[in-house]
Amino acid sequence: MSIPSVYSPQEVEKKWYKYWEENGFFHTEPDERKPFSIVMPPPNVTGQLHMGHALDNTMQDILTRYKRMQGYNTLWLPGTDHAGIATQAKVEEELRKEGLSKDDLGREKFLERVWAWKEKYGNRITEQLRTLGASCDWDRERFTLDEGCSEAVKEVFLRLYEKGLIYRDYYITNWCPHCKTTISDIEVEHQEQDGKLYHIKYPLEDGTGYLTVATTRPETMLGDTAVAVHPDDERYRGFVGKKVILPLLNRPIPVIADEYVDREFGTGVVKITPAHDPNDFEVGLRHQLPQVVVLDDEAIMNENAGSYQGLDRYAARKKIVEDLKELGLLVKEEDIKHSVGHCYRCDTVIEPRLSKQWFVRMKPLAKPAIEAALKGEVKFVPERFTKIYLNWLYNIRDWCISRQLWWGHRIPVWYCEECGEVIPSREEVKSCPKCQSTRVHQDPDVLDTWFSSALWPFSTMGWPKNTEELHYYYPTSVLVTGRDIIFFWVARMLFMGLEFMKQVPFREVLIHGLVLDAQGRKMSKSLGNGVDPVEVIASHGADSLRFMLVTGNTPGNDLRFHFERLDGARNFANKLWNASRFVLMNLEGFNPQGIKKEDLTLADRWILSRLNSVIEKVTANLEQYELGEAARELYEFIWDEFCDWYVELSKPRLYGKMPGGDTAREVLYWVLKTTLELLHPFMPFITEEIWQKLPHEGKTIMLAPWPTVKVEYNNPDAVKEMSSLMEVIREIRRLRAEVNVPPSKRGEVILVTADSSLRSLLNENSWAISALAQSEPRIVAQMPAPDGALTGVAAGITLYLPLKDLIDLEKEKERLNKELKKVLAEIERLEKKLNNPGFLAKAPAEVINKEREKLSGFYREKEILEQRIGMFSHEL
């Protein structure tokens, strides 16, 4: 039954994960049991494990392991996302090293390269998830581009198209000039940065003056088709209906009135560029303005930009500003800070740009998703995220779903080159059904990656086929995800699930925060502050990382990563290992016969009652998704009550100094085994390793029944009595520590209480005081304070610790006088400092207050030392 003296997570973790997977313990099939299902938020196939993944998947694994032990038919369905933009970028980067581009290969050959890359590198993150201990059903692993998911995506697109919920039109979208594709509004990251506001004169066509506009992007003025003022702005009412001359291109454009204009911003006159600004686009529609595109897909000025054609947008800005200055049309440049949109993938500044794209009409789909939240059909944990979710849906805009990429789900629409017919189809189209021409081609664009991810809870279970899994596991029980993708993913899964399955895709959404660095900053490559979980697992073990990520974490809140906390989790694993090693060493030849209540000591009754309480609290916290609180309960029980108290209290009986060794073994076995089962979802590897060494039933702790409260062990009186005993022992230890009594030095402690029940408690457990406080107790009803003794109070009991036989009083007095001398010197120094007018005038208030606090502390220390010296002087 023995285990090595030192715990080695590297050896243990690989061994047990292989054992679990090879024995199929993660796999499940529909049966008569109650289901519990989770779908894993699919990590990008390009990715590798980061701390956000580690937290998210640890939380899912805890819930999965917990429900599995409770007897549920538990499915945790894993998979990866094809990550259109990111994966294509990776492969294009490789091609550039070979001096090639995707266009050199052509679409078919390029996609062959991407699939080859996916086969080579795509399983990296799933292998890393295994090192974390993720107990997914890997037999059911899915990929957003696999055959079944692709069929589901095509079916959803066509059904939405047939209902009029998908359409194609010209619209302003967020264009990334580096990735050369549109991205959705929620994929744009806005960053505060320095910029300039340029005030530019637009001369009136009739030569009577000019209007001054203010813009941060003068390069887009070449696409202006109007200038606008607010209809209620008295300054400009007389200009509405007139025309101004667009500088540099000398094109007449109208002055219009629109309530969109902010009278307080700049001059109160704004340029309207319908093809390059989303708000201007809406204004342009209202006033039927032309839409002039002046930037191409690489943000290079095009043929509509006159003499600036061929210039990059920033070079064009510089040249335009210079030319405006030369013409006397630049009034001023104003330094400002403003929010600028960046591509979430490559950090390039986004260019709003008019282009023809595919869209999902969102209002009809959002309505049922709003109602589901309002009716409580789906609940967010914490509840505050419901409001965030609803606010986004109330203000939702149509979703641009087309991407100018080759890697992804290609849009299932063909076009006839002869008659212009648009042909949506589930099968490949060879000829036009309208004119029979064979000159047809498929739309070159692919669907937004989030479109396929939105179907994840049901596409992974076989939809559109009517599978047994879909009937049994859908809706899933809970979704665990970060607060940063409520809009990207959670909301979209809800409206897709309601549209196609007529049910919410999950009953509850457990939201967690981000993992930040120790300073509270987001981990990023640019800051170089990221922590690699794979490296942490290699150095500290997966169990330590998991426990560290969960403890102190509350739903919805961000978590700071501290290596000190990681070391603390490793120390906890070692503490458990050492205590278990002690227990196992004392269970040689042990065969559990069951606990006999009549043989139990106070310590036995206390630990069994406390174990009941822990079972109850951990279970309740897990049910409420308070994983951090559940972990804290276990930490405190294992470290403090089991290891530091009960194990120590069991030693006299195990070593034959006290009767009841067999009972102590029974209780140690039962408490350790039950505690390991409670801890298993949090720290699966170390608990399996120890549990396997104990007498047990079954092949794995994973499938052991979840512990339940044994009512016969509930004993509040024992808990209360033991609490009093522990207080007494702690106080004796404190008194001994105050005067540096070495543990090996035993002496008398006098315990005084008039309460006969307390005296009985102390007498019956005097052996525990002797064993744990290195003191021989004398228990009396009353007694005056003896000379030369330290005094303390605990649990209503007065304690006297005679020092004569414990320490050399002369040496202790000498030591205390030295301490007093140091304290008096500090008091003198601080008093002088705080009486110095110069210091008080110059030092910040917080510094002065800190120094005053120090002085107060030294005054208190002086008083204690003088009392102690006085006591020793009287004795001597």
Query: What CATH number does the domain containing 647 carry?
Result: 1.10.730.10
- What is the spatial distance between Cα 502 and Cα 662, in angstroms, rounded to a whole number? 60
Single-letter amino acid, residue 448:
D
More confident residue, 345 or 818: 818
| pLDDT tens digits along 320-352 | 999 999 999 999 999 888 888 888 778 889 888
Residues 308 and 334 in one domain: yes
Of 592, 515, 622, nearest in space to 559 by CA: 515
Is 59 part of a structural domain of the chain?
yes
E strand intervals along 111-221: 142-143, 166-176, 181-183, 188-203, 210-215
CATH of the domain at 817: 1.10.287.380
Q: Find residue 226's DSSP bridge partners.
A: 272
Residues 63 and 201 in one domain: no
Residues 132 and 264 in one domain: no
pLDDT at 314 over 50: yes
Is 44 part of a structural domain of the chain?
yes
Percent of residues, the chain, with pLDDT higher than 70: 99
Across the range 598-622, mean pLDDT stands at 97
Is 95 part of a structural domain of the chain?
yes
Cβ atoms of residues 350 and 188 within 8 Å = yes
Write down the mean pLDDT value for the chain: 93
Residues 826 and 838 in one domain: yes
Residues 102 and 195 in one domain: no
Residues 746 and 670 in one domain: no
Is 343 part of a structural domain of the chain?
yes
Is 543 part of a structural domain of the chain?
no
| 512: three-class secondary structure by DSSP | strand
Is 362 part of a structural domain of the chain?
no
- What is the model's pTM? 0.86
| pLDDT tens digits along 222-266 | 999 999 999 999 999 899 999 999 999 999 999 999 999 998 888
Q: Which tokens hold the place of 519?
A: 């300073």
| pLDDT tens digits along 425-476 | 999 999 999 999 999 999 999 999 999 999 999 999 999 999 999 999 999 9
Residues 527 and 567 in one domain: no
What is the biggest distance separating any 2 CA atoms in the chain, rounded to whole angstroms? 118
| pLDDT tens digits along 10-32 | 999 999 999 999 999 999 999 99
pLDDT at 804 over 90: no
Q: Which pLDDT score, from 0 to 100, does residue 776 have?
A: 95
Residues 792 and 815 in one domain: no
The residue range of the domain holding 75 is 9-143+453-538
Q: Which pLDDT score, from 0 to 100, does residue 525 have?
A: 72
Residues 332 and 192 in one domain: yes
Of 725, 609, 717, 620, nearest in space to 670 by CA: 609
pLDDT at 85 over 70: yes
Cβ atoms of residues 45 and 82 within 8 Å = yes
- What is the spatial distance between Cα 820 and Cα 816, in angstroms, rounded to a whole number? 6
Beta strand pairing call for 402-403 and 446-447: antiparallel
Final residue belonging to a domain, choices 714, 746, 774: 714
Of 242, 252, 304, nearest in space to 276 by CA: 304
pLDDT at 416 over 50: yes
Percent of residues, the chain, with pLDDT higher than 90: 78
Q: Which pLDDT score, from 0 to 100, does residue 488 have?
A: 81
Alpha carbon 686 to its chain centroid, in Å, reads 24
* 818 labeled binding residue: no
Quickly state the pLDDT bin for 122 (edges 50, 70, 90).
confident
pLDDT at 875 over 80: no
Is 438 part of a structural domain of the chain?
no
pLDDT at 305 over 50: yes
| 436: three-class secondary structure by DSSP | coil
Quickly state the pLDDT bin for 873 (edges 50, 70, 90).
low
Residues 310 and 191 in one domain: yes
Neighbours of 808 (CB within 10 A): 11
Alpha carbon 127 to its chain centroid, in Å, reads 20
Q: Which pLDDT score, from 0 to 100, does residue 211 have?
A: 95
Of 616, 842, 592, nearest in space to 710 by CA: 616
Q: Which pLDDT score, from 0 to 100, does residue 876 have?
A: 45
Final residue belonging to a domain, choices 296, 321, 352: 352
Q: Which pLDDT score, from 0 to 100, does residue 577 have?
A: 98
Task: Provide CB contacts within 8 A for 841, sequence distance 6+.
Answer: none
Quickly state the pLDDT bin for 1 (edges 50, 70, 90).
low
Is 375 part of a structural domain of the chain?
no
| Angle in degrees, 0-180, between the axes of helices 107-121 and 84-97, rounded to the nearest 10 | 100
Final residue belonging to a domain, choices 807, 830, 855: 807
| pLDDT tens digits along 833-847 | 999 998 988 889 889
Residues 525 and 650 in one domain: no
Residues 204 and 120 in one domain: no
Q: Which tokens hold the place of 245?
A: 């001359």
CATH of the domain at 262: 3.90.740.10
pLDDT at 874 over 60: no
CATH of the domain at 520: 3.40.50.620
Looking at residue 381, what DSSP letter applies? E
Overall number of domains in the chain: 5
Q: Which three-class secondary structure string do you get for 793-848?
A: EECCEEEEEECCCCCCHHHHHHHHHHHHHHHHHHHHHHHHHHCCHHHHHHCCHHHH
Highest mean pLDDT out of 180-184, 342-346, 780-784: 780-784
